[in-house]
Amino acid sequence: MEVVESHPDHFQVEVLTAGSNADLLIEQSLRHQPNTVVIGDAQQYQKVMDALDPQGIKVYSDGAIADVVTMEGIDLVLTALVGYAGLLPTINAIKAGKNIALANKETLVVAGQLITSLAEENAVNIYPVDSEHSAIFQCLLGEWQNPIEKIVLTASGGPFRGREREFLRNVTKADALKHPNWDMGAKITIDSATLMNKGLEVIEATWLFGLRLDQVEVVVHPQSIIHSMVQFNDGSIKAQMGLPDMKLPILFALSYPKRLPTDFPRMNFTQYPQLTFEQPDLQTFRNLALAFEASDKGGNMPCVLNAANEIAVSEFLKERIGFLEMSDVVETCLSKMPFIKTPSYEDYVETDKETRIKALEIIN
């Protein structure tokens, strides 16, 4: 919303959606006057309706998100739902010919083959919004004819960088929610602490940029200034840098191919006299290794990985399992769920559903 407000001549909000935060949805809608809003929580529907219907704003609830993204007045759909919930709305938007600004990495993790094929069939562009993938996208501008040797995704390392497993046994939800550099929602913050977020980004990157898994490397970069890098086949490396502020990749996805002027804070190199890099600890933070394994196996395994992780994170946030147990749940699900080599959409739906049941069985 801040990005849209910074360039009111370029952007108009047509649809806004929320899960359960009715107050913020109402506030944003009164300010931006969208055509339509969707509130996921049916219990909040009447409250939103009472506030916005007099303004002439259409109000829907429940599963309407997957339908409203196809409306005629929409040019670009910014998909920023958390987790698997982003899959069907993104599919419908692509089928309706809408370009996608993708902040929901799970869409490509769960069904990368399906999404990329649909985008090609419908001549739809997918613009990455994650800071790492936006960085890769920006590094590739003007380089489309030059083969990529590898990409390097940077990771902050989260709040527990350098810690050993014994320490992680006793960390609390409050500890895990203290990210050193980024202000994000609870689910993504926990994923960052376990390095699952980086694992999901690895899988997303293979689909976004048409790469083999062995062309994607992860390095820990605690300062979060270099957002990611591309190495070309001559050995040259391009990096995209900037302050850790999501407004920049959001604006680039919304305004591409232009770079619109901003008054956002500028980086001062003297405040960052050292930029450091280190290898991720795959023994301690097993989720990143599990993501590589799921991607390597392919088929429906990334879908299993994602569903098991969503349940594990939810249960950790409810303080029903410990920090290290999240990886145990994911690993067990990957070993027990049936493998489908070339899944259909229905297979993804069934895999997601059955994995969630299995994950809860393991926890209980």
Contacts of 345 (CB under 8 A, 6+ apart): 91, 111, 114
Write out pLDDT tens, residues 187-201.
989 999 999 999 999
- In the chain, DSSP finds a helix count (H) and a strand count (E) of 16, 10
Question: What angle, rounded to 10 degrees, do the helices at 301-317 and 325-336 form?
Answer: 150
Q: Is 142 exposed, middle or buried (0-12, 13-18, 19+ CB in 10 A)?
A: exposed
Q: Which domains does the chain have, with CATH numbers?
A: 2-130+246-271 (3.40.50.720), 148-224+280-363 (1.10.1740.10)
What does the pLDDT average to over 19-36?
97
Write out pLDDT tens, residues 65-75.
999 999 999 99
Per-residue pLDDT, 178? 84
When pLDDT is cut at 50, 70 and 90, the band that residue 99 belongs to is: very high
Residue with tokens 């994650």: 130
Distances (CA, A) of 284 to 71, 169, 222, 309, 324: 46, 11, 17, 17, 9
Q: How far apart are CA 38 and CA 251, in angstroms?
A: 23
Q: Which residues of 14-23 are buried (b: 16+ CB within 10 A; e: fewer)?
A: bbbbbeeebe
pTM, entire model: 0.94
Q: Which residues of 157-180 are buried (b: 16+ CB within 10 A; e: fewer)?
A: bbbbbeeeeeebeebeeeebbebe
Per-residue pLDDT, 123? 98
What does the pLDDT average to over 103-109?
93
Maximum pairwise Cα distance, the chain: 61
What does the pLDDT average to over 221-243?
97
For residue 180, pLDDT over 80 is answered with: no
Per-residue pLDDT, 249? 97
Mean model confidence pLDDT for the chain: 95
When pLDDT is cut at 50, 70 and 90, the band that residue 54 belongs to is: very high
Per-residue pLDDT, 62? 78
Distances (CA, A) of 291 to 201, 202, 359: 9, 8, 16
Write out pLDDT tens, residues 138-154.
999 999 999 999 999 99
For residue 298, pLDDT over 90 is answered with: yes
Contact 82, 21 (CB under 8 A): no
Peptide bond into 343 cis (omega under 30): no
Per-residue pLDDT, 92? 97
What does the pLDDT average to over 287-306?
98
When pLDDT is cut at 50, 70 and 90, the band that residue 182 belongs to is: low
Q: How far apart are CA 15 and CA 32, in angstroms?
A: 10
